[in-house]
A and B are shown apart, each in its own frame.
Chain A
Amino acid sequence: MSMAQQAEPAVTTPPAPGPKETDGRTAQRPLALRLLARPEVGVFLGAVAVFVFFLAAAPSVRSGSSMATVLYQSSTIGIMALPVALLMIGGEFDLSSGVAVITSALTASMLSYQLTMNVWAGVITALVVSLAIGAFNGWMMVRTGLPSFLVTLGTFLILQGVNLAITKSVTGNVATDDISNMDGFGQARKIFASSFDVGGVQVKITIVWWLVFAALATWVLLRTKYGNWIFAVGGNQESARAVGVPVTFTKITLFMTVGFGAWFVGMHQLFSFNTVQSGEGVGQELIYIAAAVIGGCLLTGGYGSAIGPVFGAFMFGMVNQGIVYAGWNPDWFKAFLGVMLLGATLINLWVRRTATRR
């Protein structure tokens, strides 16, 4: 068995529908322990702790509009952290996810503007490009057998260069032109970057999308065949292949899901700021990965959840905004994040050890 360092926990299972069988089998592990063994419990406690901490430290956090800002910040990380987490459960990384967001936004923006088309033409093209980048990552990895770390590191550098070079040669600038007067902009903005009013508080639509995607990802992961395959290819790829799981299909589609996430976040950035800075996105991929890891996903694959990264992303958003609300020097943000990452990882480890000790 090639699982030296990960011999502990179980894939979480949804509560069994229908009556639980109790026909003379010996006792199950105590409920508290089984609960602790779920991958999202550690991060949930962490998120609560950070939340309570900033509630106490920064009084201005306690308003509805501050909360909406925190959640908005969280959602822009969280939407990408979800597919990145699924990919991680499937045993792979994607280092190109941060710049892929910008690539997608640049594609939509420049295509629409330069060819004076309806923005939807650009949006659809960007989707195709993003899915293609994901498929390329997955295909390269499966085909060459190289670690996904290397393959996507290559893609990361390629996209970073391409983003800058093409934008400069097309627009003569490092940013794209403002597309807010183009046909279809208002419509697209409604979907990707609008706000709505909840009891006098402006709530960004990305928060809704974030939660919808999280629910969808949870359902797929725990209740579908494909979700079963994700756990299997991450947990033991050779075994999965031997019992007939389509490993190649699963991995490539996981990378394409990351592509979809990059497209969605890219569209959000484009339609909220009207222009795109071609040099952005670098370093974001590590934030997504960190959110997934804080969310209880095992770096080596085969274990994790979709709801964990939601809390992971919330912790990021909370710390990011909380520091500002508390009036601290925001330069400390990254240091704070690093401490949080290490702390969360250690707590997760400890929780899993405790919970799976029989």
Chain B
Amino acid sequence: MTSKGSGPSGAVLQDTPPDDGTAPIVELRAAGKSYGNIRALHGVSLTVRPGQVTCVLGDNGAGKSTLIKIISGLHQHTEGEFLVDGRPVRFGSPREALDAGIATVYQDLATVPLMPVWRNFFLGSEMTRGPWPVRRLDIARMKRTADQELRNMGIVLDDLDQPIGTLSGGQRQSVAIARAVYFGARVLILDEPTAALGVKQSGVVLKYIAAARDRGLGVIFITHNPHHAYMVGDHFSVLRLGTMELSADRDEVGLEELTNHMAGGAELAALKHELAQVRGVDVEGLPEAEDLQATAPVSATPEGTP
């Protein structure tokens, strides 16, 4: 990828011209995806710029996973446009996305549990030495580099030879982020990195997200926790039933409003009345729809689901 910014044709009808000199690396324009006659995603526009965190929020089944899969090359979009550096692309495999500088840290962390940490760190991009017939892994250099990179992220492991499956969730997440940063990702997609983590470990991961942003990476942070999103996000997109419900910059939306969108304000109020009718649940303390503008209920979704 050599060309930065939009091509000459795109400059004419550009609806959001590069305002601060940072052209978007990844851009979706009214993109969508259908599986047969099921429309999982429709009319989604998203812009990722270097040094910014774009948060994608949504309930289960809102289309977050489909969105990531399109950008990371696991699936192809069936409508709209997907541009990288201003040029339309259609990735045939995750390898192509990686080559374009788009790295994804999956919810299941894309690690092979039985393999040692250093082998996981370099999996798919192994360092080798020697000419072809005897080209072999440069094990010493890989171990050294992995150790160095992990230490740079503040991760110190007992033994790089231990199977990565023996690490804690937060540690594995951090290894995966360090790996993506090391391999020169320009865009980092994080799929619910905090979903399975405790409060403290979530904080660690959020710190790495901020660190990646400060190194000039564009970050796509998928989450259903508006509190986590608001801590590091520059732009917020809320997905709902496969379409875009909200797309706003940080200065256009507050945490309360974000939380409200995320929780599906009106639906919550309806649910409250339903609950009251069913079992006489004490709902006096729960907010009405109009109250939701001001209060900040937490996400109504269970954690750890896509």
Point out residues on A near B: beta carbons under 8 Å. 1, 3, 6-11, 13-14, 16-18, 21, 25-29, 219, 223-225, 227-228, 231-232, 235-236, 238-246, 302-303, 356, 358
* Of listed A7, A26, A239, A242, residue having the most chain B CB within 10 A: A242
Cross-chain contact A235 with B114 (CB below 8 angstroms) = yes
A and B contact pairs by CB, cutoff 8 A, 21 listed: A3-B114, A10-B114, A11-B116, A13-B119, A26-B158, A28-B158, A224-B136, A227-B137, A228-B126, A228-B137, A231-B119, A232-B112, A232-B115, A232-B124, A235-B113, A236-B113, A239-B108, A244-B93, A244-B124, A246-B95, A356-B163
B75 within 8 A of A: no
Interface 9-residue window, one of B14-22, B140-148, B223-231, B277-285: B140-148
B178 to chain A, nearest CB (A): 13
Given A9-B163, A223-B136, A239-B108: A228 in contact with B123 (beta carbons within 8 A): yes
B156 to chain A, nearest CB (A): 7
Cross-chain contact B74 with A6 (CB below 8 angstroms) = no
Give the top 6 A-B pairs by smallest Cβ distance, nearest first: A244-B124, A235-B112, A243-B124, A10-B163, A239-B110, A242-B110
Q: In residues 99-157 of chain B, which contact A (Cβ within 8 Å)?
A: 104, 106, 108-116, 119, 122-126, 128, 135-137, 139-140, 143-144, 147, 156-157
B162 within 8 A of A: yes
A331 to B162, CA, bound (A): 45
Smallest CB gap from B158: residue in A: A26
B166 to chain A, nearest CB (A): 7
A219 to B123, CA, bound (A): 17
Residues of chain B lying within 8 A (CB to CB) of residue A3: 113-114, 165
A232 to B144, CA, bound (A): 21
Cross-chain contact B137 with A223 (CB below 8 angstroms) = yes
Residues of chain A lying within 8 A (CB to CB) of residue B111: 236, 239
Cross-chain contact A231 with B112 (CB below 8 angstroms) = yes
A16 to B161, CA, bound (A): 10
B159 within 8 A of A: yes
Cross-chain contact B112 with A10 (CB below 8 angstroms) = no
Out of B125, B136, B143, which one reaches A21, CB within 8 Å? B143
Out of B128, B136, B161, B165, which one reaches A13, CB within 8 Å? B161
Cross-chain contact A231 with B126 (CB below 8 angstroms) = no
Residues of chain B lying within 8 A (CB to CB) of residue A241: 93-94
A307 to B161, CA, bound (A): 20
Smallest CB gap from A246: residue in B: B95
Given A223-B136, A235-B113: A245 in contact with B124 (beta carbons within 8 A): yes
Residues of chain A lying within 8 A (CB to CB) of residue B104: 242
Cross-chain contact B113 with A224 (CB below 8 angstroms) = no
B98 within 8 A of A: yes
A34 to chain B, nearest CB (A): 8
Smallest CB gap from A27: residue in B: B158
B70 to chain A, nearest CB (A): 14
B128 to chain A, nearest CB (A): 6
A28 to B159, CA, bound (A): 6
